[in-house]
Chain A
């Protein structure tokens, strides 16, 4: 049975009437009641949808949507929980159209972070009060309405207020949540970020046999994961090894690229003769011109990529992109979502699947600017969509025109 979704606002509930996949060249947009009138939050919705800042594309693999809603949503971020859940039901063809007979409806308010945790929002009481007519209508139609609000101290209204609102836990329920998992489980939706079983080696690979960028967080620690004391020792040893390795990289000028005090570095983390990938040996690569020497996949557990900013603090972003088709192997979302000036060493680890089917040539790119980079990166990504392989020279030239320092280096993983 389909489900109706209402986004709570202080002006009253706003129903999500329809979601449509749009052309990837088009920015995502929220429109009013099927008309050509785009709402003021359309830009924020586009950023909420599109990678690398957005979570909808990450979860449902499409970069551009149009959402039609029944009434205006003017500002704020509290629409995000409702919008995401609407996408979750739409992805399974379970989003009800207006007036469609349903058993259940959802009323939601909350902001989402990139891990789909629900963050606090204001005016929850006002939103509940503004939705009293909807509550009465749902009750009259015998539709069970679930109200989801962020969890946290002081966010759940007191019992007397809930009684006044006739929130009885039966036809009208109110639940506070810290992430979307409860909604996913209750309504039997597919988990947008499923946990990968450690035994399933090939889950790291997409259908083309390449690394899936967004599984790396769960898999990052896998080579050094174990239980009990050994785990602590292994983690400690790895941290020490990483610090020593990075120091060596700096001292020996292993990562020789210089531009405005910024250096890119790559280190191999190779299976130790005794400990395997649980305690890998770190081997910094010495850059040769525009490229680092290629790495043999045999015995390679992971790659560590570093940026060392020895100049003044600046906004930075890094990504690794497969040359063949532009597929992203690594992208630092955090520094886009929470931009801050950084200095010193920043590192990322790409854990490699155990069975890679083919060699990979990729370009490692670092961007630095005096301004936050999210907008320029979004623009770059949009221009990269399409069937053709992205033209790196054009992308680079355009970034440089925006006074962004662009450093890049090539590296290959060889079968």
Chain B
């Protein structure tokens, strides 16, 4: 039996014994997590330490596994959206939109331009929220609380915009099959414009605090580097991959929701270390701001959802007074709408990389199989290798800079 199949404690006990006999050194086992305040989520790593240095690590995942893929096999399409909220909860609108786009791809629904642009706006807002949290928390982990306090109020502003759009803040459940559930209010646009005026100032200040900061550079440069080759092997996508120097971005590679209409750059790093990851996310926030501005400037008039009565619930007041609406309402809720038998894969650029839904439909009201490609789950495998040989405090910084979100890791 391979040693790797043993529990980490047993495996490490062997190594410790060997090492002691070899040169008398005393290694220690340290259990980091599962609920350690420094890890920002439910992550357990059992570390083998030589003093302050990490020799080996074994992550245990699954502490908040909620069996989304199983639940999804028992829920109609429109009820699966609430599951996606809870994957990467720092940017739930991206997950929501990704799910609706998958369903629309399956059902061949053409979404009106206005709804597509609105989706782009809300997805980029979510990306800002996601990167903002990651980068400011990275600051906190290196001992700089100030930056976090500066920018964190802007996440609140983003949540207020979500609230205007869909009524919820964290687990948004935003949108419907074919578009949005309601037209965005004037208040939403007003808040969005205020955000676009105020946020860049704060973000610039945040950048100034960190980018050339001696202490921050010392803590992050050459900490947890990963080569482009290795990153690809480990299935990295998103900012973490781009920090290693590969410019793969789903928004460019396979534009969805009219991303081809906007001009933006794909920032890349070079060495794939913590500092590069930080800088790539910083730069992406600027790109996101620019995309939102372009989308707002070009925002076309028109309906906010596709005209698909088979899948889009009619307004409630019509259900009481209009025969067709009542029929459609009944059919949608009872799951008697036609669904093609097909296998679909749709991917979007999530906060952490390629978020994909592989949906196998057998024509019934629920998916036959739904596989969620969760970027965090895939790249977290590289973590033990990335922290090997580094200090314990660096391991924390690397974990934050990878932006591993427990909800997405465990699904």
Bind each other: no
The chain A residues found within 8 Å of chain B, CB to CB, are none
The chain B residues found within 8 Å of chain A, CB to CB, are none
